[in-house]
């Protein structure tokens, strides 16, 4: 039996999130179906996280156990040949037997893309939230940097299990790239809907309706956070491991 780590890229538009669901098309379900087709084994995969419906990934770590005896490049090519076009296996590597795509992860990095223009763009808006009102990306960046460090992020999300809402944010940045405003967040782990509610609150800052001091009050749970923004602008960029 071998434990393998695969780095998965997918367009989440046509999937009901990562986690397997009955009668719903999910990324996990498609991965397990492809593994059964190629290996003949009934394999359960474990992801580093569970992205919501419509959220994308450029580098989600997933591990699974298999009795596959041929080379890993052969397995990778075979799986990519049968997976739907919206999913691709970017890398495949063997790991120690106690490795976990979820618990062995050192960090996770997300990017939320905002299209800041008045006129709609059907192509760009598949992967970005369009905001027609001008945004002050500098003010949003200053607010985002308040998130760096060890904090209770309960104002922005709920834990996937238990009641611990403390997370460590390693990096937080907002930058403008032409008409796009990019929100980059990197932490040891994230709460459910945490990134999307942070972005919703940063939008208030960018629109001038929430000051930097008031943003800090949100983090301190003295003020309510913004609404969770739409999922299609969110992408899990990378998961970092010590291997």
What predicted TM-score, i.e. pTM, was given to this entire model? 0.95
- The continuous run of DSSP H or E covering 112 comes out as strand 105-115
> Is-contact 110 184, C-beta < 8 A?
yes
Note the residue count of the chain: 243
Measured between alpha carbons, how far is 56 from 126 in angstroms, rounded to an integer?
11
Ordered structural domains, the chain, with CATH: 2-95 (3.30.70.580), 106-241 (3.30.70.660)
Question: What is the mean pLDDT, run by run of 10 residues, along the chain of 243 residues?
Answer: 97 94 94 97 95 96 96 97 97 96 96 97 96 98 98 94 94 98 97 97 98 97 96 97 86
CB 242: neighbour CB atoms within 10 A?
Answer: 7
52 belongs to the catalytic site = yes
Among 11, 52, 163, 242, the one annotated catalytic: 52
Cα separation, 115 vs 135, whole angstroms: 10
């Amino acid at each position: 039996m071998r434990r393998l780590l695969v780095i998965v890229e997918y367009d989440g538009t046509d999937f009901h999130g990562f986690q397997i669901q009955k009668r719903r098309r999910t990324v996990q379900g498609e991965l397990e179906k492809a593994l059964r087709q190629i290996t003949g084994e009934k394999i359960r995969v474990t992801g580093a996280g569970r992205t919501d419906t419509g959220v994308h990934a450029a580098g989600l770590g997933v591990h699974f156990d298999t009795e596959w005896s041929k080379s890993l490049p052969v397995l990778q090519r075979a799986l990519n040949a049968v997976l739907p076009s919206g999913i691709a296996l970017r890398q495949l590597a063997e790991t120690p037997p106690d490795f976990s795509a979820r618990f062995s992860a050192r960090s996770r990095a997300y990017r939320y893309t905002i299209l800041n223009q008045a006129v709609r763009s059907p192509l760009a808006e598949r992967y970005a939230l369009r905001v027609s009102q001008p945004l002050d990306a500098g003010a949003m960046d200053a607010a985002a940097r308040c998130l760096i460090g060890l904090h209770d992020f309960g104002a922005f999300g709920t834990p996937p299990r238990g009641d611990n809402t403390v997370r460590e944010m390693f990096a937080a940045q907002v930058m403008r790239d032409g008409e796009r405003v990019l929100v980059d967040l990197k932490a040891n782990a994230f709460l459910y809907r945490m990134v999307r509610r942070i972005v919703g609150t940063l939008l208030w800052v960018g629109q001038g309706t929430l000051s930097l001091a008031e943003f800090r009050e949100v983090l301190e749970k003295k003020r309510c956070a913004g609404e969770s923004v739409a999922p299609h602008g969110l992408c899990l960029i990378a998961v970092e491991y010590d291997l």
